[in-house]
C-alpha cells in the first residue's frame, strides 16, 4: 500500500493504518521537493499530486493508494481516481464526527490555507454541520512546526497558541468545543495544541476512519509477516536525514530519494 503526503503529516494516517493492518507492507512517500502544498495554487497541487502518484503507482504497483493529505485530497482526489487504475482512499476534513461530538454547535476547522478555502469544505459543512457555526483557519505555520517537531527541533508554545487563536479569536470562537485537525500534520502535534488551549477542546481527525476504510478494501489479503516498509522522498532536500528517528518511531526506515 502506498501512503502519500507532501511531508511527514501522513505519518498520523500511517499510525492508524498500521494498527488496523499490522502485516501489510507500506511505502510512505513524501513529496519533499514540492513541500508545502498548503500555500500552493489549486492547479499546482493537482498537477504535482497526479504526476507523482502516477509515477509512484507505475513503479511500485501498490494494492491501494492512500492520499494521506487533506490539501491534496480536497483538491485532486477526483482527478487522481480518474487517472489511476488502482483504488484510491482520500483524507477529507473530519467535519461529520466533529459535528456529532459538538455540544455547543460551534466547531473549528484547522487546516492549511489552501484546504480551508475549498468548496469541498463548504459542501461537507452544509451536509454534516448545517446546524453548526463552522469557523475556519488556515495555518501554514503549524505545518512547519509539525515538521520541525518531528525533526527533533524545539518548538515554542506561543506558536501553537497562535494557530489555535486563529479560531478562538473569531466571532463565536469562545463557544467552540471541537476542532477538526484538517491537515494530517496536525495530529502529530495535538498534544502541544491541547497543552496551550485556554480550556479543554476536543480534537478530531480522519485517520481512524481512513484505516477502517483501508482495512475494508484490503479484506481477505494476506501478507507473510510484518515489515518490508519503505520511506520515499521526492527530492534530496537539506536535513532529510534528520527525520530518521521519527520515521523509525513509526516503524519506517530512513528516507530514500526516488
Ligand atoms: N499534510 C498536508 C495536509 O493534510 C499538507 C501540508 C502542506 O504541505 O502544507 O493538508
For 126-171, the pLDDT digits (tens) are: 999 999 999 999 999 999 999 999 999 999 999 999 999 999 999 9
Q: For residue 91, which atom of ligand 1 is closest to its CA? A: 4
Query: Same domain, yes or no, for 131 and 107?
Result: yes
pTM value surpassing 0.95: yes
Query: Same domain, yes or no, for 47 and 60?
Result: yes
In tens digits, what is the pLDDT along the chain, a chain of 258 residues?
A: 999 999 999 999 999 999 999 999 999 999 999 999 999 999 999 999 999 999 999 999 999 999 999 999 999 999 999 999 999 999 999 999 999 999 999 999 999 999 999 999 999 999 999 999 999 999 999 999 999 999 999 999 999 999 999 999 999 999 999 999 999 999 999 999 999 999 999 999 999 999 999 999 999 898 877 778 999 999 999 999 999 999 999 999 999 999
Work out how many domains the chain is built from and give that number. 2
Confirm or deny that 38 is annotated as ligand binding. yes
Q: Write the DSSP symbol of residue 254.
A: P
Confirm or deny that 139 is annotated as ligand binding. no
Dist CA 181 CA 257 (whole Å): 29
Query: Same domain, yes or no, for 167 and 125?
Result: yes
* Per-residue confidence (pLDDT) for residue 227, from 0 to 100: 75
Query: Same domain, yes or no, for 125 and 196?
Result: yes
* Domain final position from 186, 205, 224: 205
Confirm or deny that 31 is annotated as ligand binding. no
Q: Are 190 and 204 in contact (CB under 8 A)?
A: no
Query: Same domain, yes or no, for 22 and 36?
Result: yes
Q: Using the mean position of ligand 1's atoms as its centre, give its distance from the Cα of residue 223 in Å.
A: 30
Query: Same domain, yes or no, for 109 and 175?
Result: yes
* Per-residue confidence (pLDDT) for residue 228, from 0 to 100: 85
Query: Same domain, yes or no, for 74 and 111?
Result: no
Query: Same domain, yes or no, for 195 and 103?
Result: yes
The contacts of residue 82 (CB under 8 Å, 6+ apart) are: none
User: Does 132 qualify as catalytic in the annotation?
Assistant: no
C-beta of 183 in contact with ligand 1 (< 6 A): yes
Query: Same domain, yes or no, for 101 and 188?
Result: yes
Q: Using the mean position of ligand 1's atoms as its centre, give its distance from the Cα of residue 71 in Å.
A: 6
* Cα→Cα distances 110→8, 159, 193, 235, Å: 17, 14, 11, 28
**Residue among 64, 69, 135, 150 flagged as catalytic:** 69
User: b/e for 197-235, b at 16 or more Cβ within 10 A?
Assistant: eeeebbbbbbbbbbbebbbebbeeeeeeeeeebbbbbbe
Q: 3-class DSSP state for residue 30?
A: strand
CATH of the domain at 39: 3.40.50.1860
* Per-residue confidence (pLDDT) for residue 15, from 0 to 100: 97
Which residue range is the domain that position 113 belongs to? 95-205
Query: Same domain, yes or no, for 124 and 225?
Result: no
C-beta of 69 in contact with ligand 1 (< 6 A): yes
C-beta of 5 in contact with ligand 1 (< 6 A): yes
Q: For residue 185, which atom of ligand 1 is closest to its CA? A: 1
* Domain final position from 181, 205, 229: 205
Confirm or deny that 71 is annotated as ligand binding. yes
Query: Same domain, yes or no, for 84 and 174?
Result: no
Q: Using the mean position of ligand 1's atoms as its centre, give its distance from the Cα of residue 111 in Å.
A: 8
C-beta of 184 in contact with ligand 1 (< 6 A): yes
**Residue among 75, 163, 183, 247 flagged as catalytic:** 183
Measured over all CA atoms, what is the biggest interatomic distance in the chain, rounded to whole angstroms? 54
Dist CA 139 CA 143 (whole Å): 7
* Per-residue confidence (pLDDT) for residue 208, from 0 to 100: 97
Q: For residue 9, which atom of ligand 1 is closest to its CA? A: 1
* Per-residue confidence (pLDDT) for residue 222, from 0 to 100: 86
Pairing mode, if any, of strands 230-233 and 106-111?
unpaired
* Per-residue confidence (pLDDT) for residue 254, from 0 to 100: 97
* Domain final position from 163, 183, 205: 205
Query: Same domain, yes or no, for 103 and 135?
Result: yes
User: b/e for 5-44, b at 16 or more Cβ within 10 A?
Assistant: bbbbbbbbbbbbbbebbeebbbbbbbbbebbbbbebeeee
Amino acid at each position: 500500500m502506498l501512503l502519500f503526503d507532501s511531508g511527514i503529516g501522513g505519518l498520523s494516517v500511517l499510525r492508524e493504518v498500521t494498527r488496523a493492518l499490522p502485516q501489510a507492507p507500506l511505502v510512505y512517500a513524501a513529496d519533499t521537493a514540492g513541500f508545502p502544498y498548503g500555500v500552493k495554487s489549486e492547479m499546482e497541487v493537482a498537477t504535482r499530486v497526479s504526476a507523482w502518484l502516477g509515477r509512484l503507482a507505475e513503479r511500485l504497483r501498490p494494492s491501494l493508494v492512500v492520499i494521506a493529505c487533506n490539501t491534496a485530497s480536497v483538491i485532486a482526489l477526483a482527478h487522481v481516481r480518474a487517472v489511476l487504475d488502482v483504488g484510491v482512499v482520500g483524507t477529507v476534513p473530519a467535519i461529520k464526527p466533529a459535528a456529532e461530538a459538538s455540544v455547543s454547535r460551534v466547531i473549528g476547522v484547522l487546516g492549511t490555507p489552501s484546504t480551508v478555502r475549498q468548496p469541498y469544505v463548504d459542501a461537507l459543512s452544509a451536509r454534516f454541520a448545517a446546524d453548526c457555526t463552522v469557523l475556519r483557519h488556515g495555518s501554514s505555520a503549524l505545518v512547519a512546526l509539525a515538521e520541525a517537531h518531528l525533526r527533533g527541533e524545539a518548538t515554542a508554545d506561543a506558536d501553537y497558541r497562535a494557530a489555535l487563536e486563529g479560531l478562538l479569536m473569531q466571532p463565536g470562537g469562545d463557544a467552540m468545543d471541537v476542532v477538526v485537525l484538517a491537515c494530517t500534520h496536525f495530529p502529530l502535534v495535538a498534544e502541544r495544541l491541547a497543552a496551550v488551549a485556554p480550556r479543554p477542546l476536543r480534537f478530531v481527525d480522519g485517520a481512524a476512519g481512513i484505516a477502517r476504510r483501508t482495512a475494508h478494501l484490503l479484506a481477505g489479503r494476506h501478507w507473510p509477516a510484518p515489515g518490508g516498509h519503505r520511506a520515499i522522498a521526492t527530492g534530496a532536500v537539506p536535513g532529510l536525514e534528520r527525520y530518521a528517528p521519527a520515521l523509525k518511531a513509526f516503524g519506517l526506515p530512513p528516507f530514500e530519494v526516488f
